[in-house]
């Protein structure tokens, strides 16, 4: 190829700058955009400050957009230097953070419209956002309960863990002593091994915080009076003052001084906890005494739902009048605000400069929960740039009557608002407006997948993206608003036309949706529906979920008792079949051989002076032969006893014919073998009698005469032996022992083996991993500017997805000169860069909480329930990974409906059901933006 041809080849750099920027906007992947920028210095300079990175950040990382704060923007406009929003740097930072860097993000609950059960602090909503079993959230009410939470920005995100570790470090020295029998006489100096300490710490780590505090206070009180058991706890406390003094004076630590220092520290800590528990110090709840009203159109259905969920008649009447059921308690209000969280988080200026990129969630129902959440949803969004100031300005009215629970209620001095400060009632009104916006209300009463798909089709909810059905749960991911904005009305019409007749996936886990279940929506999604309230963050639906009913799941996944019964029945059938044919044939053959050998010996010595005794080998074989039908009778009895319970708990039927046939055959064999034993005993007696008679004759006649005389048995003795031998063989040829009966035993053994194979197959099916059915809205996904990961990404693709965005050009100077653009240094970047928060410390979050196989692996034994029902509600854990991450510093968890398990758990059935949540873990990463920048929803 000559130089003239090479010069006239079309080049991307022949385009002007506006066209280049326009072309680059078609690249939505940050990695592709970085490669294009690195092709030459001209493109690197051109694209560095353009809005292409703004679009890439918005499309790939949850719809976030960075902008300068008002003071920073004013300073930049008055400065001669250009101020660049570091969208590319943030894309590079997030792209380098691989999947393994995801962790549970701490959000703090600030408000709920579902009340708090009995107004107790250890039931407050914030426990739902702490991913462990230290305390649950127990609402006062049961339907459409919303929890508003803000991203935690304070330094004490995991302070409760530190508090617990202090108590566990002390109490782990006490627990092993309580397990000693007899109790040691010197517990304060009793040696405790490291293995015992580790085991005790693991056991204490799953205790509720309230229980740990109670135990610690008891031991601290014992230590204060020098009780030996209480003093043993002091080994977990440091003696910092004595250690410092000893080091300064160059002497060893004084044991008595160190003990006194530890004892005083334990006394102070115990008294402090007794005066104000951890939750008394962490929360200050305000109950706003208004009754939450429902839509008049939904009052009738609410009353029906109240009866279906077991509400009392007076409570159903209250619901039908348009409100929630009420009691005479002082803390009956559904609207509850945590003043401490509002002051430390919502009033903080750091909220807008921090955001979480959420990639998944986990919902736990672990524990003795009487009404665990069954269906729910998550909504997420970003606070407005000015926070809630605009909403507060419109709602700063006089405070209604409130009831306070927390440090200020116990006598501590409450912080007095400054002159002109916004009252808590204004914050409550603003947060109530957040929960009353159309996007949140659109998920009310969405108890099944069919209702969600119908709402998507009607435009009440955004289009659905993915529907995943498992044995124990199902969830539906909804399209984020920043991606929904990329769809045109024509796209929506095509999606609706292609999906309008589709059906929701049935699968192994949930109820099938209706005919409109597959529709993606015929109108603009709910994110754009309804007028936005001024100053209120617009939260969008992210995911909807539903746990399978306990009864339905028990039919799919058998309880541990049912699985144990299956294993027992399988083993019993296998053992009975082996005994019936293999073992019995072998023993009968050995028995016949031993009998034949003895009877031949008896017949051979009939004329001699001594008859042979019964061989020990014959006695042993006979003993084993007689014990065999006894074992068969035991197995038949066990099958008859286990069959009804197994049919009830597992739906597995053990054939009555098999059990009855096994019992009848065993009894017949036992009877015939007993007759054989009698005949053998008779033969032995005849042989012994003949020998005694021969000895008597020899004594009377003398040895010579006896030798010259008859020389054997008296007349008729030989006939007695022959008759006894024939009796033995007739017994061995009885009906149950003859060869013709072997066919019956073989057929019965084959039926037992078939039953054993069926029980083994049922047991193996329970051991297999859960069935997962995933259906994606392919018609919708094809029209999006970004594509989700494949259903099963290969390892190579996963590794490639974690590659970093190139950060600097690697050549291309000739291309720059060909474009006629001189190379210039890139524009200045902010001095401080965005950073990722480190993951929480070990022990703060539950193990494997984002593992989708966790429910299968802890299928039994995890829920602490009464002895009468050892498994209880075994549907415990849901883990879901999002196809499209979302950016949020404010979320709403919506508990739509509970599952009423009050009768199973054993609570008072006269109480009204509520909704309980152990925790909602949000998986992602937290980004801290540099000063002067804030995260806002993408335009």
CB 173 within 8 A of CB 232: yes
| pLDDT value at residue 448 | 94
385-397 burial by CB neighbour count: b if 16+ within 10 A, else e? eebbeebbebbbe
Other C-beta atoms lying within 10 Å of the C-beta of residue 197: 17
Q: Which of 573, 750, 564 is nearest to 654 (CA)?
A: 573
Task: Tell me which DSSP letter residue 151 carries.
Answer: E
CB 580 within 8 A of CB 636: no
- The dihedral formed by the CA atoms of 589, 594, 600 and 605, expressed in degrees to the nearest 10: -170
Q: Mean pLDDT for each 10-residue chunk of the chain (939 residues)?
A: 55 76 79 81 76 84 82 53 68 75 92 91 93 92 93 80 93 90 83 92 91 94 90 88 85 86 90 91 85 42 40 42 46 87 82 88 88 95 79 59 54 51 83 92 95 92 94 93 86 66 39 39 45 72 94 78 86 89 81 77 64 78 83 89 85 84 84 77 71 66 52 49 69 66 83 90 76 88 85 42 35 33 40 79 88 71 42 80 93 95 71 89 91 81
| pLDDT value at residue 311 | 42
207: three-class secondary structure by DSSP: coil
Residue 836 Cα distances to 105, 357, 839, 924, 930, angstroms = 12, 10, 9, 11, 11
478: three-class secondary structure by DSSP: strand
Chain mean position to CA 101: 20
Q: Which of 24, 5, 2, 3 is nearest to 13 (CA)?
A: 24
- Give per-residue pLDDT as tens, 826-877: 444 444 678 888 888 888 988 888 988 777 666 544 444 444 445 567 788 8
Residues 6+ apart with CB under 8 A from 850: 102, 104, 360, 362, 879, 881, 921, 923
- Give per-residue pLDDT as tens, 476-486: 999 999 898 88
Give dist(CA 366, CA 919) in Å, integer: 9
Q: Which of 524, 502, 508, 523 is nearest to 453 (CA)?
A: 502
Residues 6+ apart with CB under 8 A from 634: none
| pLDDT value at residue 739 | 66
Give dist(CA 453, CA 468) in Å, integer: 13
| pLDDT value at residue 776 | 93
The sheet carrying 773-776 orders its strands as: 402-405, 285-288, 335-338, 107-112, 145-151, 890-898, 373-381, 540-547, 473-478, 464-469, 773-776
Q: Treating both helix axes as pointing N-terminal to C-terminal, what angle do 584-604 and 717-732 enclose, rounded to 10 degrees?
A: 170
Provide the whole-model pTM.
Answer: 0.76
Give dist(CA 927, CA 310) in Å, integer: 45
* Percent of the residues in the chain that have a pLDDT greater than 70, as a whole number: 71
* Cα dihedral sign, 558-561-562-566: positive
Residues 6+ apart with CB under 8 A from 104: 131, 840, 844, 845, 849, 850, 921, 922, 923
| pLDDT value at residue 849 | 87
């Amino acid at each position: 190829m000559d130089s003239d041809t090479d010069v006239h080849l079309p080049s991307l750099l022949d385009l002007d700058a506006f066209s280049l920027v326009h072309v680059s906007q078609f690249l939505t992947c940050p990695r592709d955009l970085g490669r294009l920028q690195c092709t030459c210095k001209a493109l690197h300079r051109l694209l560095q400050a353009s809005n292409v990175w703004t679009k890439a950040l918005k499309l790939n990382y949850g719809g976030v957009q960075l902008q300068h704060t008002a003071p920073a923007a004013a300073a930049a406009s008055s400065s001669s230097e250009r101020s660049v929003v570091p969208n590319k740097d943030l894309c590079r930072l997030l792209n380098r953070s691989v999947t393994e860097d995801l962790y549970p993000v701490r959000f703090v609950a600030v408000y709920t419209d579902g009340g708090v059960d009995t107004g107790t602090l250890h039931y407050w909503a914030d426990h739902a956002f702490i991913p462990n079993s230290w305390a649950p959230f127990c609402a006062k009410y049961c339907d459409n309960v919303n929890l508003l939470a803000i991203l935690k920005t304070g330094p004490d995100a995991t302070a409760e863990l530190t508090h617990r570790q202090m108590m566990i470090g002390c109490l782990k020295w006490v627990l092993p002593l309580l397990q000693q029998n007899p109790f040691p006489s010197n517990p304060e100096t009793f040696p405790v091994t490291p293995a015992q300490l580790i085991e005790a710490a693991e056991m204490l780590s799953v205790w509720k915080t309230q229980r740990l505090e109670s135990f610690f206070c008891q031991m601290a009180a014992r230590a204060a009076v020098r009780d030996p058991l209480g003093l043993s706890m002091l080994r977990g406390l440091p003696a910092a003052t004595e250690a410092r003094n000893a080091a300064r004076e160059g002497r060893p630590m004084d044991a008595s001084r160190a003990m006194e220092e530890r004892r005083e520290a334990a006394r102070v800590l115990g008294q402090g906890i007794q005066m104000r528990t951890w939750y008394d110090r962490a929360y200050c709840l305000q109950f706003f005494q208004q009754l939450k009203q429902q839509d008049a159109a939904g009052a009738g259905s609410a009353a029906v739902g109240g009866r279906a969920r077991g509400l009392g008649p007076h409570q159903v009447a209250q619901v039908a009048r348009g409100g929630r059921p009420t009691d005479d308690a002082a803390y009956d209000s559904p609207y509850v605000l945590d003043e401490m969280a509002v002051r430390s988080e919502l009033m903080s200026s750091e909220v807008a400069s921090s955001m979480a990129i959420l990639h998944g969630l986990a919902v736990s129902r672990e524990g003795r929960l009487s009404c665990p959440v069954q269906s729910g949803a998550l909504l997420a969004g970003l606070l407005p740039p000015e926070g809630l100031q605009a909403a507060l300005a419109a709602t700063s009215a006089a405070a209604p009557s409130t009831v306070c629970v927390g440090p200020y209620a116990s006598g501590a001095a409450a912080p007095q608002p400054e002159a002109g400060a916004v009252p808590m009632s204004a914050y409550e009104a603003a947060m109530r407006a957040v929960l009353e916006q159309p996007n949140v209300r659109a998920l009310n009463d969405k108890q099944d997948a069919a209702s969600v798909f119908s709402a998507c089709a009607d435009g009440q909810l955004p289009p659905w993206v993915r529907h995943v059905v498992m044995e124990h749960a199902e969830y539906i991911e909804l399209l984020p608003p920043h991606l929904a904005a990329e769809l045109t009305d024509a796209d929506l019409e095509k999606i609706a036309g292609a999906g309008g007749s589709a059906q929701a996936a049935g699968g192994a886990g949930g109820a099938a949706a209706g005919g409109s279940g597959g529709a993606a929506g015929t109108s603009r999604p709910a994110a754009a529906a309804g007028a936005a309230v001024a100053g209120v963050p617009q939260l969008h639906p992210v995911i909807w979920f539903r746990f399978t009913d306990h009864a339905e799941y028990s039919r799919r996944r058998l309880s541990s008792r049912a699985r144990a019964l299956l294993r027992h029945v399988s083993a019993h059938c296998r053992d009975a079949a082996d005994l019936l044919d293999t073992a019995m044939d072998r023993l009968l053959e050995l028995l016949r051989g031993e009998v034949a050998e003895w009877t031949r010996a008896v017949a051979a010595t009939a004329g001699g002076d001594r008859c042979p005794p019964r061989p020990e080998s014959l006695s042993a074989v006979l003993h084993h032969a007689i014990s065999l039908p006894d074992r068969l009778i035991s197995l038949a009895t066990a099958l008859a006893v286990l069959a009804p319970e197994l049919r009830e708990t597992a739906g597995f039927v053990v054939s009555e014919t098999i059990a009855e046939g096994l019992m009848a055959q065993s009894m017949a064999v036992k009877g015939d073998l007993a007759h054989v034993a009698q005949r053998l005993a008779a033969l032995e007696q005849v042989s012994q009698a003949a020998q005694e008679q021969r000895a008597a004759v020899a004594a009377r006649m003398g040895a010579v005469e006896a030798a010259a005389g008859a020389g054997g048995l008296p007349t008729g003795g030989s006939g007695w032996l022959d008759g006894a031998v024939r009796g033995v063989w007739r017994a061995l040829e009885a009906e149950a022992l003859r060869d013709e009966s072997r066919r019956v035993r073989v057929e019965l053994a084959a039926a037992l083996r078939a039953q054993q194979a069926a029980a083994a197959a049922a047991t193996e099916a329970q051991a297999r991993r859960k069935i997962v059915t995933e259906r994606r809205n392919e018609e919708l996904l094809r029209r999006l500017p970004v594509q989700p990961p494949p259903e099963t990404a290969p390892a190579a693709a996963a590794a490639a997805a974690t590659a970093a965005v190139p950060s600097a050009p690697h050549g291309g100077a000739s291309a720059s000169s060909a474009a006629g653009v001189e190379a210039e240094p890139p524009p200045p970047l902010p001095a401080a860069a965005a950073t990722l928060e480190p993951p929480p410390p070990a022990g703060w979050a539950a193990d494997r909480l984002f593992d989708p196989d966790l429910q299968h692996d802890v299928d039994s034994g995890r829920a602490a329930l009464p002895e009468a029902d050892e498994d209880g509600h075994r549907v415990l854990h849901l883990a879901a990974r999002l196809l499209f991450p979302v950016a949020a510093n404010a979320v709403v968890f919506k508990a739509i409906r509970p599952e009423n398990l009050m009768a199973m758990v054993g609570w008072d059935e006269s109480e009204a059901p509520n909704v309980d949540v152990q925790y909602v873990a949000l998986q992602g990463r937290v980004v801290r933006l540099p000063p002067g920048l804030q995260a806002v929803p993408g335009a």
